Structures are given as structure tokens and as C-alpha cells.
Amino acid sequence: MTDAYVIGTTLPALAAALELAEVGLDVRVALDGFSLTDELDHSGELDPEGFLAAFLTHLAQPIGEHGAAAQGAEPVLQDPRPFLLRNAKGGWSLQPTPAVWGIPAVPMSAQAMEILGGRGATRATLDRVKPVLTIGKTHELGALVRNRMGRVVEDRLVNPLVRERYGVAPDSVDVALAAPGLNEALTTAGSLSGAALANSDRYVARETRVAPASGWKNLVALLVERLKLFGVEFAELPVESVQAGESENGAWVVSEFGGQDHSVRSVIADTAAPLPSLFEEVFQSLVPEAGRIWTRAQIEDPKLPDPEHPALQNVEVPGQGTWSVRIEHGSDSRWFAQLSGPRVPGTGEVQDGYAGRGEAAVCVSQVLERLGLRASSEYEVEYRVAPSISTASRDAKAARLVEQRESNLSLLPVGAGLHGGEIAAAVADARQAAVMLRRRLTGISE
């Protein structure tokens, strides 16, 4: 009898498997070749609460006093770099810092005036004398910025950053979600620029990215090796079907393609992995509500004034909404353009507004052409889960996940798709849920 069967060789799924294996439970993992490591940001993943760094540190520790360490798993932190943004004259200028989502702490600084122009910077300074009359009542980030600093600040400084992260205009994003504590700091400081200054360190910490020292793909290999040290079995064939078990202890029967059946006490499944048909209906309530088209292509030299900083710009595509384009210089001296499409409702590859990946690829070509950029390599168009844009939707997702898990304690859904594509939150949730599962499997009272 196997204690747990894991479907999906993703970081959340393997992290959950490790939590079970470390206490001696029998775990089997299907090596089906599915992994989300290719979709992880090449420059690191956001880790606002430090959950991902904590997991990488845990994995890098040796087993026992004289055990071998998983070299290459240790976390490497990457501080956020300011962006080059379009300035008042149509060229590129470095965004003013300190700032929170582009909101400048010093609106009349030389950097801010380059981008805002004299009139825009002057309007932004009125924030310092404008009374705080709507304390805690302005929930939309765009409305907050416009009311306090004017539309130019929103359009030129805030909108590019918000569009890249969320795929929507700032008016659609909750302040409490994007910048926790900003409204409270506004109350204390009496101005939005003062609030940005007070929250700038917190913002930098939340925007700091983390990656394993040897890269994401190697991390999966390190995880597999660590799991093997704990006696975890690996199936070379993917799962064909899962059925409810006939005995009380054997909650599920997992069948592998061309292989044998396994009676298991619990199943851990990444909802983004290829899953047996039984789970399609079971996980229906957990399907992501929206997604975005994403791609990255090597481009010819764009002639930016400062190669040390990425450039960020929005591009409007008729009939396809606003796209976000980040241009950056790679460590190997090559130039890359990272394109993110607008947030669209839907759950799969063919979305409303897109006939499929082929049409999305045409949109990408149009965006590059509008910017005068030429791709020097082929690019793969991907569909990614879009992050939550409101605290209400985020909390609703969390409630549905809790309800799903409580409806069947022997089935544990995990994955970044359950957390708006945020891998750090997904890993933390999978580890915590696996700890609760192992308490039940080992008979420890909750």
C-alpha cells in the first residue's frame, strides 16, 4: 500500500512529496515529463514573503550531520532594477526612485521631471498640499494615483509597471493587493508621495526575485535526487486513470500506462499537469478564471541609452488590447524582448479574443513591428495563468481551494495555477497542505 501518489513533476508537487517522504511515508511519483520550470521567470521568481527562499534553503541543507548537501539549490536574491520608461520627449529615461509601482517619492526630482515634463511634475506636487479626504476609501490603484498626483503620473510611471504584472489598467487593481500598507501610509504621511517614500523599502523587498543558484531545471533534478534518498519510487510511465478505491485504507487506485495498478491512500496532483479524466470534473471549481499570452524572443540591438536597465513600454494592438513589452540585455550580451498580452478570461489555449496560438503569434509580430524591433530567433507563444487583481477574487480562490480539499481529505490539489501563477505561494501552500496530510496519514491527531 502506497501512502501517496504524486502526479505532476512541478515544484509544488515535488515539494509536497518531500514533506511526506521526510517522515518515512511511502511515496510514488509519476515522471511524466511535465514540468513548469520552463515557464518560471529566467531572472527569478517573486517571493514577497520569503517562502520560496526558505524552501530552497531547506533543500540545500545536507541530510544528517555528514550527509551531502544539494549544491546548486541555495537561493540567489536579485534586487529589482529601475526601468527605462518613455519620457516627455519620446525618448527613454530612468524611472525615478524611490517609488512604489512607479509612484514617485520626489515628484520634482530631475528623473521625475524628465518623464513627467514640467506641467506633469508640478501637478504631482499638489499631492503634498491636497487634504487626505478619502482615507481608506480609494480601493483602485489608478484612481488613487490620479486623484493625488494626476493622470500623467498614472500614464507614464504607473501604467507600464502595472500592465506588465497584471495585464490590466491600474484602475482594475486593488491598492491593498498590489501595494499592501500604501493606503495606511497615506493616512500617516498625509500625501501619496510621502506614502511611497515610507513604503519604498517594503516594495523593493516584495519585488526582489529569487532563483536557485544552478537554475530551475537543475532544481527539479536536485529534488528528484533528494526524494530518491528518502526511498521515493518513480514511475517512468504517466498515469492513465485514477479510480476510487474499494477498501477504506486504499482510497484510490492509480493505473499507469502499460504498467500496474497501485492502491494508494492519497493522491497529490498539480492541477496544471495532464490529469486523468476523473479529476477534470473534480477540479472544475479550481480552474483559473483568466490568463495571458506570454512570449520571449531574441531581438536585434534596440539601441537603448542604458543597457544596464530594462526598458518597459505598452503597445496598443487594434482588436487585441494593450500589450506590455520589456526589452533587456542578457548576461550573454544578447538582447531580448519579453511580451505579455492583456488579461483575458478563459482557461485554456484557445481564449476569448484569440483564435489560438497562431493568432497570438501574429499579435506578437505586430507589437515588435510597431516598436521597430526585429526578432532574430523563433519564439514560443505560451498561455499563462493571470494573477488576481482584487483581494475579493484572491480570497474567493482561497476559499474554493479549502472547500475542495475538505470535501476529500485523501486528494490534495496543488500548483501555481491555484495561486495566480505565483510559484512562491504555490510551493508554500503545497508544503503546508502536505504537512496536514502527513499528520492524517501517520495518525497524529490534529
Q: Look at residue 446 and tell me if it is in a domain.
A: no
Q: Look at residue 370 and tell me if it is in a domain.
A: yes
Same domain, 190 and 90: yes
The model's pLDDT over 101-142, given as tens digits with 9 standing for 90+, comes to 999 999 999 999 999 999 999 999 999 998 876 555 689 999
Looking only at the bridges linking them, the beta strands covering 84-86 and 252-256 are unpaired
Tell me which of 347, 370, 385 is where a domain ends.
Answer: 385
3-state secondary structure of 149: helix
Looking only at the bridges linking them, the beta strands covering 321-329 and 252-256 are unpaired
- Block means of pLDDT (10 residues each) for the chain, 446 residues, are 92 96 95 57 84 95 74 92 96 97 97 97 94 73 96 98 97 96 93 96 96 90 92 88 75 86 94 86 88 91 92 91 93 88 71 57 86 85 91 95 94 95 96 96 77
Same domain, 331 and 366: yes
Same domain, 403 and 255: yes
Grid coordinates standing for 322? Answer: 494593450
Q: What residue spans of 135-286 are helical by DSSP H?
A: 141-149, 151-153, 159-166, 175-178, 182-189, 192-207, 216-229, 277-282
Q: What is the pTM of this model?
A: 0.91
Q: How many helices (H) and strands (E) does the chain have?
A: 14, 21
Grid coordinates standing for 212? Answer: 536557485
The range of the structural domain enclosing residue 102 comes to 84-207
Number of structural domains (the chain) is 3
Q: Look at residue 270 and tell me if it is in a domain.
A: yes
Tell me which of 150, 182, 207 is where a domain ends.
Answer: 207
What is the reported pLDDT for 355? Answer: 47
Tell me which of 207, 233, 262 is where a domain ends.
Answer: 207
Same domain, 14 and 90: no
The model's pLDDT over 54-113, given as tens digits with 9 standing for 90+, comes to 999 999 998 876 666 778 999 999 999 999 999 999 999 999 999 999 999 999 999 999
